Amino acid sequence: MHLIFLLSHLILFGRGTYPGDDSTYTQIANSGFTTVVLSSFYIRANGDVYSGDSRSPIIHDGRYVGDREWLRRIAMLKKSARVEFLLEGRWYHQPPNTFDFIRHWADSSTTDTLYNICKVFKEDLGADALCIDDESVYDSPSIIRLGTVIGQLGMHMTLCPFTNEAYWKAILDGSAPGLVDGVYLQCYDGGTGNTPGPWAQQLGTPVYPIFLCRGAFSTCGASHGSEPVDSIRAMMGDFKKEYPGLNGGAIWQMADIKSFVSMGCAPITVEGYLKELKNALKP
């Protein structure tokens, strides 16, 4: 049912892809990245789910109400890559957020709201996994219970930390074996200075570093810890020496890749930049 990563696990985060366009999805599908994490998605108090690229819900009252062409593009992408959806906490920087609401529903007598949301991700969107990017609430019991629902629907769960190792360890320890099959470690901005080796040792599971590529925050230069291709390649080499089990990494994000090209930061195409970044991740 899911792709098996025999070689490098190469992950591309895909902000700016709802509803996207055929050209962008073709570029991603042909890029050689083995996993695409579409981001970011926010849950509101009434159970509606929004894309960060739109102020209209994609899930309302337990049903998919978003762009129909997006479903076709995701289905096309799934022919060549595993597809995940990233749940993010912040909603235009205003609390409470996604993970406060998840905690409320997980603590209630029924998890129907969580089940209905996850069911749409699985059955309508074809999700292979949901990715947890909690940077504020840090309530492990509710994420463990969410993971139970995710597993019941035949999906996996992945984690996207930058700090608070004990929280993520508690989720792993409390989850069914095999449910969490990826940890994507932020190594930029608030996670600058992170390396995957110590995290893998602490968590007892494979960890993949996420790099912020140049083109982020609408500048050709460095911003929030963004790195050029050569630096990503060198850092992967250093990480591999520290952590021999390292088997791939991730790039944040497709919108920045397109921005880098459109701003004329280098004489390169989107396809060429994707290829360079993908090759830099191979340990």
Number of structural domains found in the chain: 1
| pTM for this model (two decimals) | 0.95
Answer whether residue 3 is part of any domain.
no
Could you read off the pLDDT of 110-169 as tens digits, one per residue? 889 999 999 999 999 999 999 999 999 999 999 999 999 999 999 999 999 999 999 999
- pLDDT attached to residue 92: 56
Answer whether residue 108 is part of any domain.
yes
CA–CA dist 57, 65 (Å, integer): 7
Answer whether residue 148 is part of any domain.
yes
Answer whether residue 49 is part of any domain.
yes
Q: State which amino acid sits at residue 244.
A: P
Instruction: For residue 194, give the CATH number of its domain.
Output: 3.20.20.80
Phi then psi for 156, rounded to 5 degrees?
-105, 170
Answer whether residue 133 is part of any domain.
yes
Stretches in the chain below the pLDDT threshold 50:
1-6
Answer whether residue 29 is part of any domain.
yes
CB-based burial label for 44 (10 Å; 0-12, 13-18, 19+): middle
Of 166, 229, 164, 154, the C-alpha closest to 191 is 164
Where in the sequence is the domain holding 61, given as residue range(s)? 9-280
- pLDDT attached to residue 259: 97
Answer whether residue 75 is part of any domain.
yes
